[in-house]
């Protein structure tokens, strides 16, 4: 029987996950079906349990349900626990396993697809929401020289320093604290790529040869990437590779087979102009 998987979100019509997983299934010869399910805002748990009851094997979880995905899990991974959020569920009998592959997807995209090793680099994350929470452990595992988080609401960045203190040494603050500092890798993990708002970035933020990375995808040149280009940054990227790489990790977790993400990354990449 064909194994069934799905992505839950609201809205979910824009999701690339069905395309990505269908292509992974084809390229690895796995027999599975994958759909997108528009999930009522007050109906996440019912949708998850209903999908499992009908024989579903696992779920990807998109906005705004990543916190609820963590809460419904009977066995969250360490990185999902630290992030307080999950983007992937796996059903094994009565057990609901949860993991968070966003951060490892980001790191794989930076290092494998974009050829930017993080070891010894000065890395800055803009934003202190779920995406940053998920990214901290995987980035720290690559041993950057510095990992810094700046956020509009500095208290939320400081809270991350507290929550991750046992795992990751973090520099945290508001955007004003970035004045006079330079970074090799600057990652926009705010939602401003969706709202098209600019960030108050100081001059001189980008070191020579820096990479500017916006986690949002499919939006072309976001205000953040435009700011980076205006500051002379030549290497800019959006989050499409992160999306495909986190999907590859989920596929491996569910199926025990690692698909090659590269052809799908190439298929979904749109020029940043």
Active-site residues, by number, are 66
Q: Which backbone phi and psi does 169 adopt, to 5 degrees?
A: -75, 120
**Which helix (DSSP H) or strand (DSSP E) does residue 155 occupy?**
helix 154-163
CA count, 13 A, side-chain hemisphere, 269: 17
Site residue total, ligand NAP (CB under 6 A) = 26
**Which helix (DSSP H) or strand (DSSP E) does residue 166 occupy?**
none
Query: Any contact of residue 128 with ligand NAP (CB under 6 A)?
Result: yes
Query: Any contact of residue 125 with ligand NAP (CB under 6 A)?
Result: no
**Helical segments of 58-101, H only:** 66-72, 78-83
Percentage helix, strand, coil for the chain under 3-state DSSP, each rounded to 5: 40, 20, 40
Nearer to ligand NAP by Cβ, of 92 and 260: the residue is: 260
Near ligand NAP by CB under 6 A: residue from 4, 112, 156, 161? 156
Q: How far is the CB of 144 from ligand NAP (least distance, A)?
A: 19
By rule CB under 6 A, what string of x and - marks binding of each residue 207-246 to ligand NAP?
--------xxx---------------------x--xx--x
Task: Identify whether the C-beta of residue 34 lies closer than 8 Å to the C-beta of residue 22.
Answer: yes
Instruction: Specify the stretch interacting with ligand NAP by CB under 6 A; choose among 2-10, 49-57, 127-135, 261-269.
Output: 127-135
Instruction: Specify the stretch interacting with ligand NAP by CB under 6 A; choose among 7-15, 50-58, 190-198, 255-263.
Output: 190-198
Task: Identify whether the C-beta of residue 126 lies closer than 8 Å to the C-beta of residue 183.
Answer: no
Chain residue whose CB lies nearest ligand NAP: 129
Nearer to ligand NAP by Cβ, of 103 and 144: the residue is: 103
**Which helix (DSSP H) or strand (DSSP E) does residue 263 occupy?**
helix 262-268
Q: How far is the CB of 243 from ligand NAP (least distance, A)?
A: 4
């Amino acid at each position: 029987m064909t194994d069934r998987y799905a992505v839950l979100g609201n809205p979910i019509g824009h999701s690339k996950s069905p395309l990505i997983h269908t292509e992974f299934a084809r390229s690895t010869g796995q027999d599975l079906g994958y759909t997108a399910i528009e999930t009522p805002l007050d109906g996440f748990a019912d949708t998850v349990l209903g999908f499992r009851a009908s024989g579903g094997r696992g779920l990807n979880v998109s906005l705004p349900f990543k916190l609820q995905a963590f809460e419904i899990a009977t066995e969250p991974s360490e990185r999902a626990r630290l992030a307080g959020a999950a983007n992937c569920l796996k059903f094994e009998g009565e057990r609901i396993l949860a993991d968070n592959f966003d951060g490892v997807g980001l790191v794989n995209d930076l290092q494998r697809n974009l050829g930017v090793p993080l070891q010894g680099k000065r890395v800055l994350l803009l934003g202190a929401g779920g995406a940053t929470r998920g990214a901290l452990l995987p980035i720290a595992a690559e041993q950057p020289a510095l990992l810094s988080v700046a956020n509009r609401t500095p208290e939320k960045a400081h809270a991350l320093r507290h929550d991750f203190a046992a795992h990751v040494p973090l520099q945290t603050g508001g955007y004003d604290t970035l004045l006079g500092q330079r970074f090799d890798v600057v990652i926009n993990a705010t939602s401003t790529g969706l709202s098209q708002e600019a960030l108050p970035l100081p001059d001189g933020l980008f070191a020579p040869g820096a990479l500017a990375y916006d986690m949002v995808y499919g939006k072309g040149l976001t205000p953040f990437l435009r700011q980076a280009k205006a500051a002379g940054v030549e290497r800019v990227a959006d989050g499409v590779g992160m999306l495909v790489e986190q999907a590859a990790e989920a596929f491996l977790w569910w199926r025990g087979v690692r698909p090659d993400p590269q052809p799908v990354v190439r298929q979904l990449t749109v020029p940043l102009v």
